[in-house]
């Protein structure tokens, strides 16, 4: 029986030793969040669930590479999910973009076991993103969360590609400056 009290970090440590119960616990802890990450990039639910399946197999195989000093388990796994979704999207050459304009809400994470540093980083990022101009913020968040290219951002935001490039650049530099303060 999987232990319900394990943190995602502890799960990954055990998964690196091929512990299937810990893998199941990790799945219960983070699969909903990872599916949310994937759905932003691949809105079709059945395809997104295929990518989620693929993501967990990658997590199983790569758990030994997780370094808790560099990132939280959630961040590490979410990055694997994002990369898997973007790779999948490119392979299928999907160009349908979701209609929604991202309303970035940094919700409180449901995992109380998240390391403190991660929570602080997130709050800082939330604050700094809110300071960006709307177009800059949309470019950064849509590119990162939905895997949009400059051309796709240009289409979605109805602006020339060069303008989008400028928005991304200015947005990133403002973000970097704010985060480092």
Partner 1 sequence: MTDNATEEFHDDLRAVAGEYVLDTLSVRERTAFEALLAKDTSVMSLVEDWKHILAPVLQSAPEEQPDASVWLRVNETLELSASEQKSDSNRTVVDLDKLRRSRNRWRGLSAGLVSLAAGLAAFVVIDGSLLQPPSVVPDRLAVLTTDTAGLQFIATVDPARQGIHIRPLKQDGQGDPFAEGPLELWVQVGDALSYLGNVTSASWQWLNYADILKTEEFDQAVLLLARPQEQGAISPTAPGEIVFQGQISSRAR
Mind spelling out the 3-state secondary structure of 135-146? HHHHHHHHHHHH
* Residue that is written with structure tokens 């400056």 in the block: 177
**Hey, how many other C-beta atoms are within 10 angstroms of the C-beta on 26?**
27
d(CA 156, CA 99): 9
Q: Among residue numbers 117 through 156, which ones bind partner 1 (CB under 8 A)? A: 118, 121-122, 125-126, 129, 140-141, 143-145, 147-150, 153
Measured from the CB atom, is 131 or 169 closer to partner 1? Answer: 169
CB of 128 to partner 1, least distance (A): 9
CA distances from 92 to 74, 85, 115 (A): 27, 11, 36
Which of 6, 12, 22, 71 is close enough to bind partner 1 by CB under 8 A? 71
What's the token pair of residue 142?
């849509």
**Hey, how many other C-beta atoms are within 10 angstroms of the C-beta on 157?**
18
CB of 181 to partner 1, least distance (A): 13
Q: Does 73 bind partner 1 (CB under 8 A)?
A: no
Q: Does 97 bind partner 1 (CB under 8 A)?
A: no
SS3 6: coil
Q: Is residue 49 a contact partner of residue 94, using CB atoms and an 8 Å limit?
A: no
Q: Does 12 bind partner 1 (CB under 8 A)?
A: no
Measured from the CB atom, is 6 or 59 closer to partner 1? Answer: 59
Q: Is residue 1 a contact partner of residue 15, using CB atoms and an 8 Å limit?
A: no
Q: Does 95 bind partner 1 (CB under 8 A)?
A: no
Q: Among residue numbers 14 through 43, which ones bind partner 1 (CB under 8 A)? A: 20, 23-24, 27, 31-33, 35-37, 39-40
* Count, residues near partner 1 per rule CB under 8 A: 68
Q: How far apart are the first and last CA of the chain?
A: 46
Give the footprint of partner 1 on this chain (CB under 8 A): 20, 23-24, 27, 31-33, 35-37, 39-40, 49-54, 56-62, 65, 70-71, 74-75, 78-83, 86-87, 91, 104-107, 109-110, 118, 121-122, 125-126, 129, 140-141, 143-145, 147-150, 153, 168-169, 172-173, 175-176, 179
């Amino acid at each position: 029986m999987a232990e319900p009290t394990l943190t995602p970090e502890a799960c990954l440590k055990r998964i690196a030793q091929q512990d299937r119960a810990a893998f199941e616990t990790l799945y219960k802890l983070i699969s909903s969040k990872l599916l949310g990450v994937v759905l932003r990039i691949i809105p079709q639910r059945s395809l997104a669930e295929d990518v989620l399946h693929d993501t967990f197999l990658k997590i199983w195989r790569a758990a030994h590479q997780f370094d808790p000093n560099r990132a939280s388990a959630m961040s590490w796994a979410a990055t694997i999910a994002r990369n898997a979704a973007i790779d999948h999207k490119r392979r299928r050459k999907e160009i349908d973009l979701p209609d929604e304009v991202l309303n970035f809400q940094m919700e409180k994470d449901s995992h109380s076991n998240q390391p403190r540093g991660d929570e602080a980083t997130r709050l800082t990022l939330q604050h700094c993103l809110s300071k960006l101009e709307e177009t800059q913020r949309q470019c950064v968040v849509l590119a990162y969360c939905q895997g949009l290219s400059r051309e796709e951002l240009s289409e979605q935001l109805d602006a020339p590609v060069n303008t989008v490039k400028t928005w991304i650049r200015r947005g990133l530099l403002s973000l970097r400056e704010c985060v480092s303060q």
